[in-house]
Amino acid sequence: MPTTLRMIVDQVIAPVPGPLGAYSEALTRALIQAAPPGCEVEGIVSSSAPADYERLESEFPGLAGLYKTTLARRELAAAWQLGLTTSPGGGMIHAPGLFAPLRRHDRTVSGDQVVVTVHDLLAWTHPESLTTTSVAWHKSMLKRARKHADAVVVPTHALAERLTQVVDLGDRVRVIGTAPRPGLVVPTDAADSAARAARLALPAAYLVATGTLEPRKGVLDLLGALGRPGMPDIDLVVIGQPTWGELHLATVAEEAGVDPRRVHAIDTTDAADLSVILAGASAFVAPSHDEGSGTSLIEAFSFGLPVIHSDTPAYVEVAAEGGLMVPIGIGGGYTERLAAAISTVVESPALAERLSVTASDRAHAFSWRDSAERVWQLHADL
């Protein structure tokens, strides 16, 4: 009888899968491919439309089965938050987030295991980034994880350290990194790439960043840096929504002294489009003040892009000197330092080339295969 790892794949078919959906998809595929002899992977999903079940079975060839709960996603999230039943049974359960059936169990007797994943601590550090309901849900589920999870996975040691300041999990925290999202590869079809670039209205030369105008993301600082006197005449492509609250990217750019026509917001999650955007960029800028994961840097590294990043701990850990680090500091001066770094990279082809080489080298340190093997080993060791 095979040993079964049961993966919660619900986020893959969520209305807005987001980064967690991409993570769930990538890790599930890798777990199936990396399954040790005599092992298999099943999926767990909330009650959904038949087309969603078909999509999951199509997305994950090799999936041994799909357990369908009796409750829909919203009701199931509320039930699991309260520790109610409607569980998918026992065995080894791996959750790519905190959405998991966390309940009392004795794995030494029953063999049951529940492992959850924490990607950030926004509910504690930046609750304004989430809805009130989401903040309450995350805090409640982490409390349940403290009581009932057999292990908690985080993507970086930096986040692991911060997590200990929020909740005492003893020795149950495990660091297992991420890798580029599925389908994010250097384009090989020149005609398709040219057509996508034209449809996306990509400029001839540009920097690329990800995020919104939410202050912690640092895009405001980036625009301030590009608006300083003497900055290179280069466009900026921001992967994300153009608005945050009452702020609009074009308005903020103009106020910062940047011609709004040089700033382009592209809100897409399509891997082929993102590949074309990254492949055509001059450099990747990651100005964020607070991140739990450095996946965006890993994706930029996979394209050999020169990377300019803040010194938020997760970025420093992931980059490992593979990019040009800019200290955020305390008080003012960050935009000036960011501007100096951008000018140096854009105006120095030799430096950009060196950063490109180190980026490509650093990219080899991350793969979903490695992450999946470590997840399998984690469950074997419990």
Q: In whole angstroms, what is the distance from residue 337 CA to residue 346 CA?
A: 14
DSSP state letter for 277: H
CB 27 within 8 A of CB 5: no
Q: In whole angstroms, what is the distance from residue 128 CA to residue 23 CA?
A: 24
Q: Helical H runs in 60-210?
A: 73-81, 107-110, 122-125, 132-148, 157-164, 190-199
% residues pLDDT > 90 (the chain): 92
The answer to whether residues 90 and 56 belong to one domain is yes
Mean per-residue pLDDT for 265-289? 96
pTM of the full predicted structure? 0.95
pLDDT tens-place string over residues 108-164? 877 889 999 999 999 999 999 899 999 999 999 999 999 999 999 999 999 999 999
The answer to whether residues 158 and 223 belong to one domain is no
> What is the predicted pLDDT for the residue at 233?
92
The answer to whether residues 197 and 335 belong to one domain is yes
Sign of CA dihedral 150, 154, 160, 163: negative
Quickly state the pLDDT bin for 1 (edges 50, 70, 90): confident
The answer to whether residues 74 and 168 belong to one domain is yes
> What is the predicted pLDDT for the residue at 146?
97
The range of the structural domain enclosing residue 50 comes to 3-179+367-381
The answer to whether residues 15 and 161 belong to one domain is yes
Quickly state the pLDDT bin for 85 (edges 50, 70, 90): low
Q: Do the domain assignments include residue 175?
A: yes
> What is the predicted pLDDT for the residue at 72?
94
pLDDT tens-place string over residues 211-230? 999 999 999 999 999 999 99
% residues pLDDT > 70 (the chain): 99
Sign of CA dihedral 73, 74, 79, 85: negative
> What is the predicted pLDDT for the residue at 380?
95
Mean per-residue pLDDT for 249-260? 96
The answer to whether residues 220 and 82 belong to one domain is no
Beta bridge partners, 238, equal: 209, 265
Q: Do the domain assignments include residue 29?
A: yes
The answer to whether residues 45 and 155 belong to one domain is yes
Q: Do the domain assignments include residue 98?
A: yes
Q: In whole angstroms, what is the distance from residue 88 CA to residue 198 CA?
A: 47
Quickly state the pLDDT bin for 210 (edges 50, 70, 90): very high
The answer to whether residues 22 and 51 belong to one domain is yes
The answer to whether residues 89 and 220 belong to one domain is no
Mean pLDDT, the chain, as a whole number?
Answer: 95
**Pairing label, strands 324-326, 263-266:** unpaired
Q: In whole angstroms, what is the distance from residue 372 CA to residue 162 CA?
A: 24
The answer to whether residues 151 and 286 belong to one domain is no
Looking at the 3D structure of the chain, how many domains does it have?
Answer: 2
Q: Do the domain assignments include residue 184?
A: no
Mean per-residue pLDDT for 355-378? 97
Mean per-residue pLDDT for 187-208? 95
Quickly state the pLDDT bin for 330 (edges 50, 70, 90): confident
Structure tokens at 338: 């960011």
Q: Do the domain assignments include residue 185?
A: no
Q: Which residues of 187-215 are buried (b: 16+ CB within 10 A; e: fewer)?
A: beeeeebeebbeebebbeebbbbbbbbbb
Among 11, 32, 4, smallest CA distance to 368 is for 32
* Range from 59-73, 78-92, 95-109 carrying the lowest mean pLDDT: 78-92
Q: Do the domain assignments include residue 354?
A: yes
The answer to whether residues 233 and 108 belong to one domain is no
CATH of the domain at 161: 3.40.50.2000
Q: Do the domain assignments include residue 270?
A: yes
The answer to whether residues 65 and 10 belong to one domain is yes
> What is the predicted pLDDT for the residue at 86?
64
CB 43 within 8 A of CB 61: no
Q: Do the domain assignments include residue 218?
A: yes
Quickly state the pLDDT bin for 331 (edges 50, 70, 90): confident
> What is the predicted pLDDT for the residue at 288?
97
